[in-house]
Structure formats: structure tokens, C-alpha cells
């Protein structure tokens, strides 16, 4: 089987990164991934790309086979995952078109398979730092070098979907989170169980259910999300490819690769 060092998960409106490459069909113990994995090369590194929702966006957030997607990357030898996604802003100062490099999440999902350890082996991983701190710092440096508008940290609240929030929910979430999304959980914790470094780049596409006291800011629509994402797609690709160039093969300072140490009972 082909091998890859870096895995990239494409979100809504992001179904392709590099031209060429080889498509790989991977069978996992958890079923089929959302799509065939495309393995290409960039900056001397093998890159595995997988569209989270499928190339035709046929899987809604609550029906994505997250375990198969992450396990497919593990099978390819991936040690680093860059996982962009569309997100709604919950704060007035985080604007559509901004990037947020998330460092925390709040899980509000309901019915998703979110572990590889269903027994008899029992594992309790720590999720204190769910997103790789080494990659987050590298992403901040890359955003700065490219002159992008970004937040170097933020909390994402992950809702079940597929509907968007109502105003009461959005106001409630804004008290504790910065952005809102439907796919960051369980992706991030599954990557941690596989001891893979995981980075989220949230591209802000809207203001969720609007902003309190701002009648001029309307609630989000699916078409608006795709329009803003497409408008910023080239900036996102430039950021990802810049990151790929900067990610070292060795010398990381994170503990992601030892996430299972002392986690099993």
C-alpha cells in the first residue's frame, strides 16, 4: 500500500487540493471512508487527501464514518492531520473570511461513534489539549507570514446537525465558545486515540443565527456557507500548502504520539 506522511481532510466546499496523484481504496474494520483517498506529493512529502463529506457532499455531518476516515489515514502511515472546516462565528470580532486555529472543543453531539475502544480493552485518553500545540504554533506562524486574518486560539462548539442553531442556542453557545461547527467532534479525539497530531483550521463563513442586537446580521444559510468557503478557498489552500512545507519530519515538541501511554486500564 502507498504511504503518506500528512493527511488532509477537506471540509464543505473543499473537495480537491492537488492535481494528479493516485487514488487508494482502503477497507477498514469500521467500514468504508467517505471517499477514496488521493495520495499526491508536494514539497517532497506524501500527502493523503480525503473529502470529509465525500466528493459530491453526499454525507451529512451526523452520517460521516469518522472512524473509517481516521483509520484509513492510520493505515497509510499518516502522522499529521490538517483538518480545515467551515464554521460560524459566535463573536462580533471574528468575521467571515477569518481563520480560527482552535485549541479547545465543546461536544454537543448525540449519536456518533467516538472511540476505537469499545472493549474489552478500556482506554481513557486525556483530551486536555486535544489539538496539537506544535501544529497550532506552526499554523499561527504560517498565517502571519501569509498576511492572513486569523485567531491563534479559540473554542469550537460542535453540534449534531444537520440543522443550524436557533437564536437561543446560538446565544447560549456564545457564552463559552468562539465558533460553531458540526464535524470537529469526534474527529479530533479519534485522531488522538490513534496518536496522530491533529490541527483544525476553522474558516469562518457566517454569524450562525445572527448577532444579538444586530438586525443587519442575518442567520446563516447553507448557500451562504458554500459561497464564503469558495471565496476563500485559494487562501485556505495557500495556508495548507505553506504548512506542508513547514512541517518537519522530526523534532516535534508535542506529546500527541504518546496519547495512549498510561491511558489503558
Q: Block means of pLDDT (10 residues each) for the chain, length 265 residues?
A: 92 82 95 96 95 94 98 97 95 94 98 95 95 98 97 98 94 96 98 98 88 66 78 90 92 90 88
Give this prediction's pTM: 0.94
State how beta strands 150-151 and 99-100 pair. Answer: parallel
The span from the CA of 226 to the CA of 222, in Å, is: 7
Catalytic annotation on 93?
no
Which residue of the set 98, 103, 178, 206 is catalytic? 206
Q: Domains in the chain, start-ordered, CATH in brackets?
A: 6-258 (3.40.50.1580)
Which residue of the set 114, 118, 208, 262 is catalytic? 208
- Output the CA–CA distances (angstroms, integers) from residue 240 to 26, 48, 138, 196, 243, in the order listed: 24, 13, 11, 17, 5
Residue-by-residue DSSP string for 77-106: T--EEEEEEEEEE-STTS-TT-EE---EEE
Catalytic annotation on 171?
no
CB within 8 Å of 213: residues ≥ 6 apart:
none
Question: Would you state the cell numbers that stand for residue 238, as one nine-digit string?
Answer: 495557500
Specify the pLDDT at position 211.
Answer: 65
Specify the pLDDT at position 197.
Answer: 97
- Output the CA–CA distances (angstroms, integers) from residue 148 to 152, 202, 225, 246, in the order listed: 11, 13, 19, 17
- Is the CB of residue 155 less than 8 Å from the CB of residue 130? no
The span from the CA of 43 to the CA of 47, in Å, is: 10
- Output the CA–CA distances (angstroms, integers) from residue 22 to 3, 11, 127, in the order listed: 11, 20, 34
Among residues 88, 246, 113, the alpha carbon closest in space to that of 190 is found at: 113
Specify the pLDDT at position 217.
Answer: 64
Q: Is 169 left (phi over 0), alpha (psi -120 to 50) or beta?
A: alpha
Among residues 229, 230, 237, 240, the alpha carbon closest in space to that of 88 is found at: 229
Among residues 71, 45, 103, the alpha carbon closest in space to that of 17 is found at: 45
Question: Would you state the cell numbers that stand for residue 225, as one nine-digit string?
Answer: 456557507
- Is the CB of residue 89 less than 8 Å from the CB of residue 212? no
Amino acid at each position: 500500500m502507498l504511504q503518506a506522511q500528512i493527511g488532509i481532510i477537506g471540509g464543505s466546499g473543499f473537495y480537491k487540493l492537488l492535481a494528479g496523484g493516485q487514488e487508494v481504496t482502503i477497507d477498514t474494520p469500521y467500514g468504508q471512508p467517505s471517499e477514496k483517498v488521493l495520495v499526491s506529493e508536494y514539497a517532497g512529502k506524501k500527502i493523503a487527501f480525503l473529502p470529509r463529506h465525500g466528493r459530491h457532499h453526499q454525507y451529512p455531518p451526523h452520517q460521516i464514518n469518522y472512524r473509517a476516515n481516521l483509520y484509513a489515514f492510520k493505515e497509510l502511515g499518516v502522522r499529521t492531520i490538517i483538518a480545515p472546516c467551515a464554521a460560524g462565528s459566535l463573536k462580533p470580532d471574528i468575521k467571515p473570511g477569518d481563520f480560527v486555529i482552535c485549541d479547545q472543543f465543546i461536544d454537543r453531539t448525540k449519536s456518533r461513534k467516538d472511540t476505537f475502544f469499545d472493549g474489552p480493552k478500556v482506554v481513557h485518553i486525556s483530551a486536555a489539549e486535544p489539538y496539537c500545540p506544535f501544529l497550532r504554533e506552526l499554523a499561527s506562524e504560517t498565517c502571519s507570514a501569509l498576511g492572513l486574518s486569523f485567531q491563534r486560539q479559540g473554542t469550537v462548539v460542535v453540534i449534531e446537525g444537520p440543522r443550524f442553531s436557533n437564536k437561543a442556542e446560538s446565544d447560549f453557545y456564545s457564552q463559552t465558545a468562539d465558533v460553531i461547527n458540526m464535524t470537529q467532534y469526534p474527529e479530533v479525539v479519534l485522531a488522538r486515540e490513534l496518536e496522530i497530531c491533529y490541527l483544525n483550521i476553522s474558516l469562518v463563513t457566517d454569524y450562525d443565527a445572527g448577532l444579538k442586537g444586530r438586525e443587519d446580521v442575518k442567520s446563516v444559510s447553507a448557500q451562504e456557507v458554500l459561497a464564503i468557503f469558495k471565496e476563500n478557498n485559494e487562501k485556505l489552500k495557500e495556508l495548507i500548502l505553506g504548512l506542508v512545507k513547514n512541517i518537519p519530519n522530526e523534532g516535534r515538541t508535542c506529546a500527541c504520539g504518546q496519547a495512549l501511554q498510561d491511558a489503558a486500564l
